[in-house]
Structures are given as structure tokens and as C-alpha cells.
Amino acid sequence: MSESRSLLRPSRRLRQGFPHPVSAAEVRVRLGLLGAFELVSDGVPVRLPLSAQRVVAFVALHERPLPRAHVAWSLWLDSPDDRAGANLRSALWRIQRVEPRLIEVSDRQLQLRDEVQVDLREAEAFARRELHGDTGGAGVEISALAGDLLPDWYEDWVLFERERFRQVRLRALDALCDRLTRAGRLNEAMEAALLSVAGDPLRESAQRALVRVHLSEGNAGEAVRTYRLYQRLLHEQLGIQPSERMQELVAGLDNQETAW
């Protein structure tokens, strides 16, 4: 390859839709990476072969231009340089043939066009606003934080980004749940708590958030039940007990022993 191979860090589509619904006049190309790969052009789903999907996803996970050689080498690691380059050219031809407004292509670089809406970017922006307490009166977008990045893809460049986004979205769900609980919006708080627990049942912060919602609703029995289920899960999976902070939430709620 003539260009450097130095590694650049890479930055089930939900049926609820994109986090910020907009009219077709505002966004004509939309890319979904959460839940599953989905490309929508002028409101119509577009099919791409897997090789082309991989190129689109890889480019979309970076918010900067990428050397073509780097993209080819990263996606076709086991192929000789000339074959990797040929595979990339074939994938780009298919992409441009189906949707020329998706990727900006030059002789040396590739970049997702600025006008393409990406659900991952919208979800991350919402999550970071929530984590920084900068809600600005924005509406609650819980469904935006419900899905993992391309959960059925197992390449290293996807795994890294999936875990990074998972940590961001789960922490944001915990923060969102706490905010909604304090505001008395308990139905939405419950939804956020359950999504966080589903994302990682062993995370105590998610389980504590769920217990607090039950307590805010006056459902002490549900709070104790949630605690006991989590206690059992920790015991079976890790051989440990919930923290004192978790135990204090349900202390004195009934006359039964809460230790496993």
C-alpha cells in the first residue's frame, strides 16, 4: 500500500425510529447502526450487500476523512493489498450505484457526507447531554438509548465501539432514570431503569435505580423483590453480595432476612 497502515481509532436497528424524527425534506438519507444496519433513502429502505454495509458502517463510525488504504486494510485484513483495494472499489461502486449521497469519495479518502443522519450520533449526543446535566428542556428520548451498536457483528472494530457506546448509554439511562424519578415522571423513569437493567443485569447502579423507582411508586414489595432477584443473581454469577448502599435502600421494608 502507498498510504500508511497506521491504525486510526474507530469512533438491531430499533423499530421506534430515529431519535430526532424529521421530515423527508430535511433529511433524505438516514443510516441506522443501532439494533441492526438500516439505510433509508427518501423514506424508502435501501438494501446493500454485506461488504458494502461494512464499508458504510466503518466510515460512519469515524467523524473524519479516512485514507482509502486504511479502510481497505482494516476491512480485509487477510487479503493482499491489491485484493483489499479491489474489494473496496467494488463495495464503493455498489454504494454509489444505490445511494450516491451517502459517502464522499475521493482518490485518497472516504468520509460520510455531513447531511446523512446517523442514529448512533444522535443517541450519543443525547446521552452525553444527559450525563452532563445539560438537558435544556429537551424531550425524553428513551428509545434512542435502547439498542446496542450492530449487535450481530463481531469484528474487532465493531466490538470496541459497541462496548464504548454501551457504557455511555447505560450510564445515561441511569442518570435519566434518576432525573425522571425526582421529577415524578415515574412511568418514563421505570422504562429507563428497565432498559438499563436489560443492558447489564449485574450493574448495581441500574438495579438501584429500579429499586428507587419502585419505592417512589410506593411499591415496597416490588422493591424488595427486585433486590432479592439481584441478590440471587450476584450470588450465582459472582459469589458476592450487593453493596451496603444497595442494602440500605431496602433495609427495614419487611421483617424477613434480606441476606442470601
User: Distance between CA 229 and CA 224 in Å, rounded?
Assistant: 9
Q: What is the mean pLDDT of residues 198-209?
A: 96
Sketch the domain layout of the chain as residue ranges.
29-117, 121-250
Q: Which amino acid is at 3?
A: E
CATH architecture entry for 121-250: Alpha Horseshoe (1.25)
Task: Write the DSSP assignment of the chain as a string of letters.
Answer: --S---------B-TT--SS---TTT-SEEEE-BBS-EEEETTEEE---HHHHHHHHHHHT-SS-EEHHHHHHHH-TTS-HHHHHHHHHHHHHHHHHH-TTSEEE-SSEEEE-TT-EEHHHHHHHHHHHHHTT--TTPPP-GGGGS--BSTT---HHHHHHHHHHHHHHHHHHHHHHHHHHHTT-HHHHHHHHHHHHHH-TT-HHHHHHHHHHHHHTT-HHHHHHHHHHHHHHHHHHTS----HHHHHHHTTSSSS----
pLDDT of residue 17: 42
pLDDT of residue 2: 39
pLDDT of residue 18 exceeding 80, the answer is no
Cell numbers describing residue 71: 479502510
User: Distance between CA 93 and CA 117 in Å, rounded?
Assistant: 21
User: Distance between CA 46 and CA 41 in Å, rounded?
Assistant: 6
Rg (CA), the chain: 22
pLDDT of residue 12 exceeding 90, the answer is no
pLDDT of residue 63: 85
pLDDT in tens, 26-66: 558 999 999 999 999 999 999 999 999 999 999 999 989 99
CATH architecture entry for 29-117: Orthogonal Bundle (1.10)
pLDDT of residue 228 exceeding 80, the answer is yes
pLDDT of residue 134 exceeding 90, the answer is no
pLDDT of residue 55: 98
Instruction: Give the rounded percent of residues in the chain with a pLDDT score beyond 70.
Output: 85
Average pLDDT of the chain is 87
User: Distance between CA 75 and CA 23 in Å, rounded?
Assistant: 34
Q: What is the mean pLDDT of residues 102-118?
A: 95
pLDDT of residue 143: 86
pLDDT of residue 15 exceeding 70, the answer is no
